[in-house]
Amino acid sequence: MSIDLFIVRPSKDLEKEIWEYRQEYFDFGATNVNGSSGIAHFDNFDKWLKFVHAIEKDKLSRQNVHASTFFSIHKTDNKIIGSIQLRHFLTPELERHGGHIGYGIRPTERGKGYSKQQLLLVLDVARNMKIPRVMISCYKDNIPSNKTALSCGGVLTCESIYEGEKQQVYWIDLHE
């Protein structure tokens, strides 16, 4: 498979593109932007960016865990395609729901195989961080996310109910 994307950490240089990415989710009726460290809840880019940098170094997120946020960018036109967050370890709450990785693809780019590419790139980051295996959880009716986890080596280990919805938990072994 050819990788058409590369990943970058958010920066002030990408403010316009990131804010457009965020707006597209809102235009499609979303209230959350998965994998973006809560960007939907910020009205100020600089405050959000400061938060993103802080949770990479400090435990400031609601999960109380270090996390790295990335945006996937298409190589040919430099368009932001998706966002993905890698949590460096799991808390008991993240073991119940959330896992190591949360991700999303902008609404107009879904169904093109980008989610798998984005996840593969972040799995390399996790390997470099010496994380031996990662957990991904998603709602059972989120077929694209389930397929993405499976296509990247995910093994379905359990199904449970989380806040009234059926979820599936996948583990991906990162040993080479």
Both tokens assigned to 176: 């080479």
Structural domain contains residue 80 = yes
Structural domain contains residue 41 = yes
Structural domain contains residue 89 = yes
Overall number of domains in the chain: 1
Structural domain contains residue 145 = no
Structural domain contains residue 88 = yes
> For 47-79, how does the pLDDT look when each residue is reduced to its tens digit (9 = 90+)?
999 999 988 887 655 567 889 999 999 999 999
Whichever domain contains 27, its CATH number is 3.40.630.30
Return the bridge partners of 69, or none. 85
Tell me the longest C-alpha to C-alpha distance in the chain.
42
Structural domain contains residue 155 = no
Please give the Cα distance from 126 to 142 (Å, whole number): 24
The range of the structural domain enclosing residue 106 comes to 5-131
> For 87-141, how does the pLDDT look when each residue is reduced to its tens digit (9 = 90+)?
999 988 899 889 999 999 999 999 999 999 999 999 999 999 999 999 999 999 9
Alpha-carbon dihedral of residues 41, 137, 73, 133, nearest 10 degrees?
130
